[in-house]
Structure 1
Amino acid sequence: MLGMIGMFGGLILLIILTMRGMNLLIAAPLTALLVAVFNGLPLFPQLADDGAANFLTNYMTGFTGFIASWYLMFLTGAIFGKVMEDSGAADSVSKWIVSKIGMKRAALAVVLACAVLTYGGVSLFVVAFSVYPMALSLFRQADLPRRFIPAALAFGSTTFTMTSAGSPEIQNWIPIEFLGTSPYAGWEVSICVALFMMIFGYWWLKKMIAKAMAKGERFVSRKTDPSVEERTELPNPLLSMIPLVVVLGISFLFHNSLGTSALIIALTGGIAATYFINRKYFQDISHAFSEGALGAVIAIANTAAVVGFGGVVKATPSFEAAVDVMTGIPGSPLIGGALAVAVIAGLTGSSSGGQAIALPLLAPHYLDMGVDPEALHRTVSISSGSLDSMPQGGYVVTTIRSIAGETHRDAYPAFGALTVVVPLIGAVLAVILFSVGL
């Protein structure tokens, strides 16, 4: 019981500290230490048996492992976003979009841009880096409150695209290994759920923005924003879209052979394409590279800090007990599977982590019961993209703080509504549709 109190208490404390703006490089290890102490984990490897779990090793393994896996993708993604910004390509594309769909649909343009890149195989983190400059320009021109930018970025990336049938994102591929399904498992229900999440979520986003503007909120510029007054000319908007097409195309071509490593090539290609197409429009390309590199380091450090917390949580006896409870929930296997994956994703701050931990336990048991593997695949995939977006989640912190420069207090209410509540409703809808035989 004490260990369980420590695990959930540490998680709640991390959420509170995150919402209050504490630096995650301090908050995450501090709360992970609390979890370790309450669960009786040795603090240092010298105090533990050989190979046994301990606070320092497990925290730093999670921390450094994430950096080792993702640093180059964060770096190239951040630099790509900065060169699109510095060259004026982001402003050019955004103005062209506004001229075609109107100022009132600026948020929709951001959502759709993220959706296209995500469904094309570009990593969620990279999508946020890449689309943010365009989103900032769109919200500025439409005079929309900038605190809704993170919500628009995340909604287009982590809801109706990330977990849908055919998506190349890992959240749609992990179940294949355990269930013997395909990326298109349950596609009929997936289409229905995706359409619901897209329509309902966008309606909710528009409603929240309209309510804020009715109270007098508008776009507020900052000193750190790229200068727009000094721009006398911008590059051709259609040519400025080519780097985005390059990123999407290369990631799609090499996704099956290189996996996530294809993104490094794709983003490098996008940077090169931006330079060669718009080189005469750059204001300070070396500064753009430097700013991108610095932003990547800050973003990945914040995210890795939270992953380290998850590494400690997963090593505790209370986590094993919680997994046993979640995976043993009575009733419909689809409900049990969805809830188990969602809760574990929330505890670890990772949608893929929730699936990777729960499915090895759930899959054999449920398949022996005769559960439709395609229904289980789609249900757990959708549910994994819900509680992973709690305030302390790595993607949440990166998008809100490191990329958009917002505070959790301002940005998270809309962010959480679209990335936690909407996917949870989508998971419920999926269970209902599968249960009635669709």
Structure 2
Amino acid sequence: MLSMIGLIGGLILLIILTMRGMNLLVVAPLCALFVAVLSGLPLFPQLVEEGGANLVGNYMAGFSGFVASWFLMFLLGAIFGKVMEDSGAADSVSKWIVEKLGMKQAVLAIVIACAVLTYGGVSLFVVAFSVYPMALSLFKQADLPRRFIPAALAFGSVTFTMTSAGSPEIQNWIPIEYLGTSPYAGWEVSLIVAIFMAVFGYWWLRRMIGKAVSKGERFEAREDDPKVAEKELPHPITGLIPLVVVLIISFIFHDSLQQSALIVALLGGVISAYFLNRKYFTDFWEALSAGTLGALIAIGNTAAVVGFGGVAKAVPAFEMAVSAMTSIPGSPLIGGAIAVSVIAGMTGSASGGQAIALPILAPHYMDMGVNAEALHRTVAISSGALDSLPHNGYVVTTIRAICGESHSAAYGAVGALTVIVPLIGLALAVILFSLGVGI
């Protein structure tokens, strides 16, 4: 009982401290210490027999293991995003989409611009920074409440693209290591779910904005609003080509290299972006440095959470929780989806939720004969639901740092589109797989 209190209390403490803006590299070990003490877990390796569970050993094993497995993907992904940003290629693509659709389809233009960049492998944060100035300009011209800009950015980035089949985003690649699948696992169901989430989510976003406008809400300008950059941008085609290169290379090599194909694909994207748009760079080497620093921060934060998970899964309460989740009646996919989604929600990280849950759940479900492709797609979609609770890093950054809004004003719409819509999509995926679609 005390162990369960420690586990739940540690997770709640992690959420609270994260929402207060504390550094995850400090918070995660402290919360792991809380879990270990209440569960009676020894603190140091010297206090147990070789290989025995302990706070420091389990935390660092989880932390270092995640870094060893995913550092190059995080590094190249961050560098690719920064190269696309610094060269103006990301701005060029998003601006072209916005211009083609026009002011009357302002919201749709923003969503599509984010979706194209995200599915092409550009970092979620870079997408938000890149598209926000144009979103602001469009919302101003259309006189729409600016508090819905974070929802439009997030909806286009972290719902029907991030966890879909073929996506180069890390959330679609982590299951490959544990299930021996490909990034295109369960593509038939993924396509149906992605279309549903895109159509339903867009309808809901337009409905929420329409209700706000009917109540008298309008755009409110601010003195510090950024302007759309007037610098010369590359042609949209040369901006799109690196995105296509990433997708093509990952498709060609995913069978032979599995998750390592993403390394080759992102490297190809960086190289093609440089040679196609090199005259437009503000400072290429500074972009590499900024990308490297961003990768270290991103993987450090995720690894810190995975380290916490390494301690959590060593205490008795965790086994009880996993047993309860995997014993849920009905499709085994439901238990896997709930486990990954809950852990992703607790940690505020889709990749962290997968990295913690899959090493334990994957062997269990594979032994049961669960279809690996169905499990891959279900896990990917489920990781992108509760991860977007208010303490999620992307959510906090997009609402506060990029858009300058408050959680009270903007999170309602963000939560509806990035939590509820993916949860409905997850239910649809489980139903379709249970009916044998794509299996």
Contact 1:345 1:355 in 2 (8 A): no
Residues 263-282 of structure 1 aligned to structure 2 (within 5 Å): 263-282=262-281
Aligned: 1:330 with 2:329: yes
Contact 1:117 1:248 in 2 (8 A): no
RMSD across aligned positions (CA): 4.0
Q: Deviations over 1:281-327 (max 9, x none)?
A: 22233332322222222222222222221221122111011111111
Between stretches 421-430 and 312-321, larger displacement belongs to 421-430
- The one-letter amino acid of 1:254's match is F
Q: Which position in structure 1 is the counterpart of 2:132?
A: 136
Contact 2:98 2:110 in 1 (8 A): no
Residues 33-112 of structure 1 aligned to structure 2 (within 5 Å): 33-103=33-103, 105=105, 108-109=108-109, 111-112=111-112
Between stretches 78-87 and 105-114, larger displacement belongs to 105-114
Between stretches 129-138 and 31-40, larger displacement belongs to 129-138
Q: Deviations over 1:227-261 (max 9, x none)?
A: 855x4533222222222222222222222222333
Contact 1:114 1:127 in 2 (8 A): no
Distance 1:201 1:344 in 2: 24
1:217 Cα deviation after fit: 5.5
Q: Which position in structure 2 is the counterpart of 1:296?
A: 295
Aligned: 1:237 with 2:233: no
Between stretches 206-215 and 280-289, larger displacement belongs to 206-215
Instruction: Say which of 170, 173, 176 aligns to 2:173.
Output: 170
Q: TM-score when scaled to structure 1? A: 0.78
1:361 Cα deviation after fit: 2.5
Q: Which position in structure 2 is the counterpart of 1:18?
A: 18
SS at 2:96 equivalent:
helix
Contact 1:20 1:409 in 2 (8 A): no
Distance 1:58 1:244 in 2: 38
Q: Which position in structure 1 is the counterpart of 2:9?
A: 9
Between stretches 376-385 and 92-101, larger displacement belongs to 376-385
Distance 1:46 1:392 in 2: 35
Q: Which position in structure 2 is the counterpart of 1:160?
A: 160
1:193 Cα deviation after fit: 3.1
Taking a change above 3 Å as real, the CA distance of residues 22 and 82 of structure 1, as seen in their structure-2 partners, is: same
Structure 1 stretches of 5 or more lacking a match?
none
Contact 1:139 1:219 in 2 (8 A): no
- The one-letter amino acid of 2:132's match is L
Distance 2:7 2:232 in 1: 55
1:5 Cα deviation after fit: 0.9
Aligned: 1:195 with 2:191: no
Distance 1:208 1:251 in 2: 37
Contact 2:249 2:265 in 1 (8 A): yes
Distance 1:72 1:276 in 2: 22
Percent identical: 63
Contact 1:104 1:142 in 2 (8 A): no
- The one-letter amino acid of 2:85's match is E
- The one-letter amino acid of 2:86's match is D
Aligned: 1:358 with 2:357: no
Distance 1:42 1:185 in 2: 42
Q: Deviations over 1:107-165 (max 9, x none)?
A: 54454455556667x4xxx5425534532343243247887676556544553345556
Distance 2:381 2:328 in 1: 18
- The one-letter amino acid of 1:8's match is I
Q: Which position in structure 2 is the counterpart of 1:285?
A: 284
Distance 1:11 1:303 in 2: 15
1:63 Cα deviation after fit: 1.9
- The one-letter amino acid of 1:276's match is F
Taking a change above 3 Å as real, the CA distance of residues 356 and 147 of structure 1, as seen in their structure-2 partners, is: farther
Contact 1:306 1:393 in 2 (8 A): no
Distance 1:282 1:303 in 2: 30
1:386 Cα deviation after fit: 2.6
Taking a change above 3 Å as real, the CA distance of residues 80 and 200 of structure 1, as seen in their structure-2 partners, is: same
Distance 2:101 2:92 in 1: 15
Distance 2:254 2:42 in 1: 41
Taking a change above 3 Å as real, the CA distance of residues 288 and 143 of structure 1, as seen in their structure-2 partners, is: farther
Distance 1:403 1:263 in 2: 28
Contact 2:158 2:418 in 1 (8 A): yes
SS at 1:52 equivalent:
coil
Contact 1:24 1:305 in 2 (8 A): yes
Taking a change above 3 Å as real, the CA distance of residues 219 and 273 of structure 1, as seen in their structure-2 partners, is: farther
Contact 2:79 2:270 in 1 (8 A): yes
Q: TM-score when scaled to structure 2? A: 0.78
Distance 1:151 1:263 in 2: 28
Taking a change above 3 Å as real, the CA distance of residues 264 and 362 of structure 1, as seen in their structure-2 partners, is: closer
Contact 1:345 1:384 in 2 (8 A): yes
Structure 2 stretches of 5 or more lacking a match?
none
Distance 2:163 2:360 in 1: 17
Distance 1:273 1:435 in 2: 42
Contact 2:114 2:156 in 1 (8 A): yes
Between stretches 108-117 and 263-272, larger displacement belongs to 108-117
Contact 1:4 1:318 in 2 (8 A): yes
Distance 1:429 1:19 in 2: 31
Q: Deviations over 1:369-420 (max 9, x none)?
A: xx88887776555434433444556776787799999987777554443333
Contact 1:355 1:384 in 2 (8 A): no
Distance 2:339 2:231 in 1: 55
